């Protein structure tokens, strides 16, 4: 996974009465490479470090570079970011998850069916699917329907990439594509294990 901290700039200005003003030159630090395609994103395969995770242009140009039906971008202790590209005439499948899901559409037009109710969706829309709710999304446009979705907690294995829906369905049916154990623990368990500290020191 590519991670980057925001470019940090610090300036200290010290004034000494009647003598001079000293300015320390800003120090700029770039901490890592920033991905410009979905293929360049390498997701974490284990418990994430306490670092920034940055996906530039996630609501505009980055999703267009995706060539797979589904790819996990990041898996955290309490959430997971996944990008999906539904081909023309395709759908994600009628399903129910035991986790919450929020889908943000970045390209194309589609139809959402949530617990029997229909709603047209397009680029710029957000759809929330509560845990335990039947849902289906169909591509109704002339171009791929692209979205990124946040599961809370994780739904898929941290390094999942399904080139096609068929591959994804098979891996789920075979019990291959499952969320890791560390992504299904409670806040108390993570705090007791020292994975989450209010001090922010690790």
Q: Nearest-CA neighbor of 167 among 70, 50, 84?
A: 70
CB atoms closer than 10 angstroms to residue 171: 17
Q: Nearest-CA neighbor of 68 among 159, 179, 7, 198?
A: 159
Report in angstroms the alpha-carbon separations of 190 from 52, 127, 185, 195, 199: 19, 29, 7, 5, 14
Q: E strand or H helix at 107, and its extent?
A: strand 100-107
> What digits encode the pLDDT tens for the residues 17-72?
455 455 544 454 444 567 789 989 999 999 999 999 999 999 998 888 998 999 99
Q: Nearest-CA neighbor of 86 among 142, 170, 160, 151?
A: 142
- pLDDT < 70 stretches in the chain: 1-33
Q: E strand or H helix at 172, and its extent?
A: helix 165-173
Q: Give the Cα separation of 17 and 155 in Å (integer).
A: 61
Tokens standing for residue 32? 């890592």
pLDDT at 36: 82
pLDDT at 167: 97
pLDDT at 17: 47
CB 56 within 8 A of CB 36: yes
Backbone angles phi, psi at 188, to 5 degrees: -65, -40
Report in angstroms the alpha-carbon separations of 187 from 36, 46, 155, 182: 33, 17, 17, 11
Residue 70's SS3 state is strand
CB 2 within 8 A of CB 31: no
The full set of domain ranges for the chain reads 37-192
Topology classification of domain 37-192: Jelly Rolls (2.60.120)
pLDDT at 33: 61
Dihedral sign, Cα of residue 41, residue 155, residue 128, residue 147 = positive
CB 43 within 8 A of CB 158: yes
């Amino acid at each position: 996974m590519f991670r980057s901290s925001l470019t940090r700039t610090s300036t200290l200005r010290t004034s000494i009465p009647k003598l001079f003003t000293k300015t320390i030159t800003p120090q700029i630090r770039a901490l890592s490479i920033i991905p410009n395609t979905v293929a360049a994103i390498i997701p974490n395969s284990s418990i994430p470090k306490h670092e920034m995770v940055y996906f530039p242009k996630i609501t505009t140009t980055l999703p267009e570079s995706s060539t797979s039906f589904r790819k996990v971008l990041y898996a955290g202790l309490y959430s997971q970011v996944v990008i999906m590209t539904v081909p023309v005439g395709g759908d994600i499948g009628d399903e129910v998850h035991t986790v919450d899901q929020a889908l943000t559409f970045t390209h194309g037009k589609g139809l959402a069916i949530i617990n029997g109710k229909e709603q047209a969706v397009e680029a710029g829309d957000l759809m929330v699917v509560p845990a335990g709710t039947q849902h289906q999304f169909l591509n109704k446009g002339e171009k791929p329907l692209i979205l990124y979705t946040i599961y809370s907690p994780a739904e898929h294995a941290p390094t999942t990439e399904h080139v096609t829906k068929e591959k994804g369905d098979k891996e789920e049916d075979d019990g291959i594509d499952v969320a890791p154990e560390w992504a299904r623990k409670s806040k108390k368990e993570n705090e007791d294990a020292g994975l989450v500290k209010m001090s922010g020191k690790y």
